[in-house]
Structure 1
Amino acid sequence: MQPRLEAALTVFDDPAAKARELLRLHRAWQSTHEVPGVLRPVIARAWQRQGSLPPQHRPLGDQQVAERRERAEDLAAVVPLLQERLLPLAAEAGNELVVSDDEGYVLWVTGPGPVRRKSEELGYVQGARWRERDVGVNALGTAMEERRPVQIFGPEHGDEDQHPWVCTSAPLLDPRTGSLLGVVTLSGSYRTAHPHTLSLVTIAAREATDLLGRKHDGALRRLALEAARCWPAGSGPALVVDDAGWVASADGFGVGERVRLPAGLAPGTAWLPGLGQVRAEPLEGGWVLRAASGAAELELRPGPRPMAVLRAGGHTTEIPLSARHFELLGLLAAHPRGVGTRELLACLDGAQTAVTVRAELSRLRKRLGGLIESRPYRLTVPAAVVRA
């Protein structure tokens, strides 16, 4: 569920009066280091996070900015859309449009000359980094921290030099992973503040995410076509995924939209959670995965953070376990010929029923691929509890 949008002021507020009241609260906070309880929650959290600020760092040079733009391929792909949606508003309201990357570095700045010259006096320029811990509470940095759209008005900013400003930011998220790609911001004089700006920036950020989602869908379709060209029908069951594990096609595999790929996946045999033993064949932009057999063994390591360690095909995979799942695997390891639900119930500690035991084993089987069979429940690979 998306958090409710909360503009810094309503259309009925007098910006000048609002700024005077916030300035009084800001100076009280600076004097006592106690955050006033009447602040908006998002601002209260931001003020609580702000500590003493280091000297402002020197902005990146043009070459470094160009390199960051090149690396931020997905972010660069949505800048034209953001400019199309927001620049007309920025020009009309005397605002500038700023797009930063996932580390808070300003990579694109566009808008009317007068407002850009004023922001340059603050160091709000291309190549500057504007996280909260760099320059204090500000919309760009706070949107990064909160992972939500934020509007910060006048003295809600942490640094008094920023008090003449109103800034409205929204995070730009990767639709595939949910990770932060960057932040889009409209900034201008606090006298231009309007609650509708928050909605407009939020909608533009969502459009950018949708655009990236469509771009990713197209890439998956191309990956599936390339796999079909290299491995035509009749080549046997195959699962085609991109480098992040998103499924392009699945022939003979029952999977969802995404599978978890291990870090450093290499061509050859590997064990994947939920899939079991597979043979990984590289494809430009992804992988073709096929069911494979081979020797494997499972180590069960107890401790405050119990885990199973699977060794298969020259790869080692660590699988964190809950205490209950570790206990169940230990019982299965002790009964290599298999064990029924009643026998497991008799051995387990705590109040358990046949239904809860079967449910826990179902979750384990989904996590451990083909390592557990049922009727009776048994491990398909040798397993032992290894104590330090």
Structure 2
Amino acid sequence: MREFTIINLNEQEISDNLIDEGVALKSLNYYLIPSDCTGEIERIVEHFELGVEDVFSSASRLYVNLCIALDFYIQQGVTVINLSLIIRSRDPYRLVEKLVEIALESKICVVCAIGNKGRKQNSINSLSRIQGVISVGAVDDELRLLDKSSVAPLGEMGPTCVANGNTNLSEKLIDTSPLYKRPKPATSYAAPKVSRSICSIFLMINVIGALIRYSVKKSSNIEKIILTRIGLPDDSRDLNIEQYPDVIKNMYKNNDFSFAIIPEADEIRWIEKLKYGLGQIGYTNVYLSNRPDEIVFVIKEIAQKLTGYEKNEVGYGYISIEAVIEYFVKFTFIKFLKLTLKNKFEVLFHGPHRQFIMQHDLEMRYLWREEKARNYCLLAYNSIMYPFKITY
């Protein structure tokens, strides 16, 4: 069996300075679309057996780039695809919709900026309407909804969540030159924050799952974990990999994002207590899932509720890396039950097992490695972002 990179985040230096959000900065001058992409589009249509006729004849170059990029990211198996664009009326919408559906079926989360058409009813862009897409609205530093952030009709669900719509121009990740001026806050700058927060959620679910399976097998076999990655189909600038933490930089240079962890004694005891607790309440066959629809439930649990706004405006609430870290550094029995049992949890919690659940939750808190969980969240939040550059 091939040896994997072993990381122990108690020893890893993960920077507290989170990588800036300059990745969302766009310049249409960077779209490198050749004049004839007919063959590439035909290949995608044939590969996925989409049966779409004359799909390219009236499509914009931006649309063609998006389709090719989606196909590429599906094949690469990225964790999240971050979208912040709209589909023009003359573009064959069904093709990109199908590609997004295929990405979701492949357990790839698709995050989309909801749009900047303001408070007029039903101003959400078409990509955000696709079933399963995590749509993102924008707020300012004081958590006030931006006037331009699109909303749904009253009584309907608007964005899945909102995030800070400001951006910090930075050359840390991507060569952003030429820089023109600091862009105004928008949903395009909120979406990457949610994409990166989802990476932290995704990695924590995978780590906890690996720990559980490690404990069940009671062996020294180390399970491979894949570091999260983000696809940016509407940005073709180059990565500046040297600014990443060393552990990520080395994975990128080796083109191998697999790694493994060696559980410590407290982590093994935490898992053993988790299994014991599940047995006591009669739930031995439950597990955390990283399917896109399950990630939405986690967002619902983590999101900060915003007073004065309805779901058609802000969805489940405000998401940030700080909120994700706060949730997982205190990850206990009750949170595990909520994420696995969902609506069944309230019935269980208010039943005869209530006292046991509360006591067991308290006992497990002292075994959870808070600093380690925090570092996992930061590691994933700093995930590699793949701008898409067509090189014909």
As a proportion of its length, which structure holds more strand?
Answer: 1
The TM-score, its normalising length taken from structure 2, stands at: 0.22
Q: Rg bigger for which structure? A: 1
Higher relative contact order (CA 8 A, sep 6+): 2
TM-score (structure 1 length as normaliser)? 0.22
